[in-house]
Each structure stands twice: as C-alpha cells, then as structure tokens.
Structure 1
Amino acid sequence: MVRWEPGTPERLQRAALELFATRGFEETTAAEIAQSVGLTERTFFRHFSDKREALFHGQERFAQAFLAGMETAPPDASAIEVVACALETASAFFPDERRPHSRTRQSVIDRNPALQERELHKMATLATTLAGAFRARGVGDPAASLAAQTVTAVFGIAFTQWIRDGEDRPLADIADDVLAELRTLTSGSPAPAG
C-alpha cells in the first residue's frame, strides 16, 4: 500500500466519482475505491462515514459560499438584493473548469434514487441555514424563508442549465438570467415569449 500523501480525501473523491460513473454507485464498494488509489478500506472510512459521503463531502464549504455573499450585502440591502449577492458568491464556487466534474457527479446522482434524496436533503439543509442568516439580518418570517427558498430554487435551476451538454456560459451569468426571470415573474409584467 501507498504511504500517506497529502490530499487523501480529494484522491478518494475523484476515484469514487470515476468508479460510480463507470461501474455504478451500488456496484462500487468503499474497498474498491480505496484500492484504486492504493489505500485501504480503513483509510477510506477515516475520511468518509460511507461511500455516499465521497459525493457529498464539503457541504459546509458549499453553504459558506452562499453565506459569504450574504455577508457582503450592505446592511440596508433588500432581501432580493441579498439573494443576488448569495448567488454571485455561490456561482464563484463553481468555476468553468469544474463543469465536467459537476456533470459527471450529477449523472451519478440522477441514476440513483437514494442519492437524489440525499441531494434534496442537502438543498433543504442549505435553505434552512440561509433562512437563519436572513433572520439574523432582520428579515422576518415568512420573508426570510421565502428568500432562502428563492436562493436555492434559482441556484438549482441555474446549475441544471450550467451542466447541460453544450452550455458554456459561466454559472454566474446563468444565475443572473434566472434571477431576472424571477423578477419579471413577480413584477406582474407579462413574461417575454420564449
């Protein structure tokens, strides 16, 4: 076996994603993931509680990207302006070079109902965290919950567009467009024919 090297969790995550994409999530074991990078199953479980976590590890950093944007918003910013700030910093968490990885990861999730459920749970947890941050900014309920759900809905729609085959726009541009669509929808103006 290989001696300890820096970046072990990242190596295990890359190996897991590759195996999940080629062999299937259910068909791949934690031991096989570890062995593919010259490590033991025990080492795998030092870093991840189960093989799902190889796909979902780092959720705290993901949430922090949104929260960092909220913190940059001026104290007197409207809730929708804070939403825009959160989306801007979260989009930076997904640079264009990360798109192939994100596409592969999503294809693995799309093929497994349990992983789809885990992804939904991740987004629900994010919405709860963001609602708390909106409340801390003085936004009352139900507006705090609506704003948090708006962030996650706009992000989810933009992310789905960003990983489509043939899409090459930056995620921030797509998120801006989706948020503009929402603003048009809520303004009472007729939606442009698409």
Structure 2
Amino acid sequence: MSRWEPNARGRLAAAALELYSERGYEQTAVAEIAKHAGLTERTFFNHYADKREVLFATADEFRDRFVGAVSDALKSVAPIDALAAGLEAIAEMLTEQRDFVRSRQAVIMLNPELQERDLIKLASTSAALAETLRQHGIAEPEASLAAESGIALFKVSFHRWIATKEEHELSLFMREALDALKSVTAGKGARSVT
C-alpha cells in the first residue's frame, strides 16, 4: 500500500458510514474501516481521533458557519433575522452533503452514545451563538433565548428534512419553522382543539 492515498479522509468517512449502516456502530472496528477504505489503521488515526469522530468531523465547520453568518447579519438586521441567515448558511452546507447527512443521522439515531454526542455538539453551537449575540449588544436573557431558539429551529427543520422522502431543500423547512415560531410568539399560532 502506498504511503499517500488521495482523499483518504473522505474514503475513511464513506467506509465507516457504510459499515456502521450495515453492521452497526458498536460492531464496527477501526481496523475494519481502514481495511474497507483500502488504508491502514495508522492512516485512520491520522485523520480521526476515534471511530465516533468520523460522524462528527464537520461539527466545528457547522458551528463556525452558523455563528459566522449570524455575526455578519447582526450588523444590519434584527437578531431573529440574523438567526435566519445562520440557518440558511448551514442549510446550504448540509444540502451539499445530503446523502451522507441522512445516512449519518440514521446511524446516530440507533445509538444513545452518538445521540448524546450530537446534543453536546449542538449545545456548543448554542453557547457560541449566545456569546456572539452578547458581543453584538444583545442582553441576557434575550441572547441565550435567541441562541436556543436557533438550535430548536435547526433541530425541528433538520428532522423534518431527514424524514421526508421528497427532495425538498432543507432551507424550505427552516423558513417554515421560523415562520411558525414568529407566528407563535406573536400569539397567532395554530391551536389544537381538545
């Protein structure tokens, strides 16, 4: 096997996801992932700290895009509209990786440890959003409420997008969720009759 292989990181991620989907996360070893990708275990550990991180390798990029877009938008729009800009930025990122993201989420939903890790990553993003809002002059508790609302909007939209069989854009679900939140906070939300 040669010392250098093109796109080793991507090949490892694809191999891991394929094996996790077929065998299960717990039943898949790093050695199997590396072999399936045509690489060595050492190469795997040059790219990922452990087999869990294959699924969360883009978490920092997700946070940075979300927070960066919100920060840029806060210079000219209200906080809720800045959150919408952040949601659009991450919708674009995830839509580009649609098949991988959907398969990844299916693996995560079958494993409590991975679900916990996913929630920790989202909490980190929420904290970064709140800090950015505070830096732009948004006081507490508004900054934290807005940040948590942004994460809630993402989670609801993302799960609807994952669940649909149709090829809708994630941004459509995000805009619908944002409109619903605005409606609820304005007192115009739909009420169920019990």
TM-score under structure 1 normalisation? 0.93
Gap regions ≥5 residues in structure 2: none
Say what the alpha-carbon RMSD is for the aligned residues.
Answer: 1.7
* Displacement of 1:10: 1.4
Query: Does the CA-based 8 Å contact 2:71-2:133 persist in structure 1?
Result: no
For residues 36 and 192 of structure 1, what CA distance do their matches in structure 2 show?
Answer: 52
Aligned residues: 193
Q: Does 1:162 align with 2:179?
A: no
> CA 1:110–1:166 in 2, change beyond 3 Å: closer, same or farther?
same
Give distance in 1, aligned partners of 2:2 and 2:164.
Answer: 37
The residue identity in structure 1 corresponding to 2:120 is H
Q: Which runs of 4+ in 1 moved over 6 A?
A: none
Give the match for residue 149 of structure 1.
Answer: 148
Structure 2 residue identity aligned to 1:18: E
Q: Does 1:186 pair with 2:174?
A: no
TM-superposed CA distance for 1:146, in Å, is 0.7
> What are the Cα deviations for residues 150-177 of structure 1, in whole angstroms up to 9, with x where unaligned?
1111011101111114132111111000
The 8 Å contact of residues 34 and 41 in structure 2, kept in 1 or not, is answered as yes
Retained in 1: the 8 A contact 2:71–2:132? no
Q: Deviations over 1:36-63 (max 9, x none)?
A: 1121111111111110001111211111
Tell me by how many angstroms 1:74 deviates. 4.8
Do the aligned residues in 1 keep the contact of 2:74 with 2:136 (CA within 8 Å)?
A: no
- Whether the 8 Å CA contact 1:20–1:108 is kept in 2: the answer is yes
Determine the C-alpha separation between the residues in 2 that align with 1:150 and 1:156. Answer: 10
Q: Deviations over 1:119-170 (max 9, x none)?
A: 1111111101111111111111111111111111101110111111413211
Deviation at 1:81, TM superposition (A): 1.4
Partner of residue 84, structure 1: 84
- One-letter amino acid matched to 1:98: Q
Matched-pair contact (CA < 8 Å) for 2:180–2:189: no
Stretches of structure 1 lacking an aligned partner (at least 5 in a row): none
Residue 12 in structure 1 maps to residue 12 in structure 2: yes
The equivalent of 1:138 in structure 2 is: 137
**Residues 93-112 of structure 1: matches in 2 within 5 Å?**
93-95=93-95, 98-112=97-111
Partner letter of residue 118 of structure 2?
E
Q: Give the TM-score of the pair, scaled to structure 2.
A: 0.93
Q: Which amino acid aligns with 2:24?
A: G
